[in-house]
Amino acid sequence: MTAMETDGGSTEHEQQRKKLSGKKIVLFIVLPLLLIVGGGAAAFFTGMLDGLLGKKHEGEGEHAEEKHEPELPPYHGPPIYVPVPDMLVNLNTGERRATLLKLGISVEVERPEYKAAVEQALPRITDGFQVYLRELRMDDLRGSAGMYRLREELLLRVNMAVAPMKVKDVLISEFLVQQ
C-alpha cells in the first residue's frame, strides 16, 4: 500500500464518520429538542400551564363572587316524583305513513324543595322532549339499549332545563309505538 492509498482510505473513512455523526446529531439532539418544544407549545395552547404562569380564569381572583349554593343536609326521605304530561309525537320515518310514539314519564328529584321548580319548568322540559323525540327513528328505540339511550337523553334534557338543580332520574311509565 502506498501513502496515497492510505490517505485516500482515511479520507473516505473520515467522510463516513462525519455522515454518521450528522445523523446522530439529528437523532439524539434535534429530534428530542423538537419534541420538547412541541410538547411545551401544546401544553401552553391547551391551558395546562396557566397555573404555573400565574394566569387566572374568568371568575377567579380576589374580587370574584362566590356562586356556590349553600350546602343542604342530605335528604333521606321517600323518593319525590314529578309527573310529566303524556306526550304523543310522530317519529321520523321518512315515509308517508305516520308512526306515533306515546310516552308517559315521571321525573325523580333529589329534594322536596326541587319539586316546585321542576313543575314550573315543565313547559321547557316538554319542549326539549318534543324536539328530541320527533327526530327519533324506530331503529333508535329498539331493544333495551335503545330504551337506555332514550332515558339518558331525556335526563340530559331535563337537567339542562332545570339547571342549576339536578334531577336524579327519568322514569318511563308508558311507552307505546303505533305504526
Contact partners, residue 67, CB within 8 Å, separation at least 6: 59
The domain containing residue 44 runs over which residues? 3-53
pLDDT digit string (tens) for 163-178?
A: 888 889 999 999 998 8
Q: Is the same domain home to 88 and 143?
A: yes
pLDDT digit string (tens) for 38-48?
A: 888 888 888 77
Q: Quick check: is 65 in a domain?
A: no
Q: Is the same domain home to 38 and 115?
A: no
**CATH code where residue 120 lies:** 3.30.479.30
Q: Quick check: is 16 in a domain?
A: yes
- Give the torsion sign (CA, 108, 111, 112, 114): negative
How many separate domains does the chain show? 2
Q: Is the same domain home to 135 and 89?
A: yes
- For the entire predicted model, the pTM comes to 0.57
* pLDDT mean over 12-17: 61
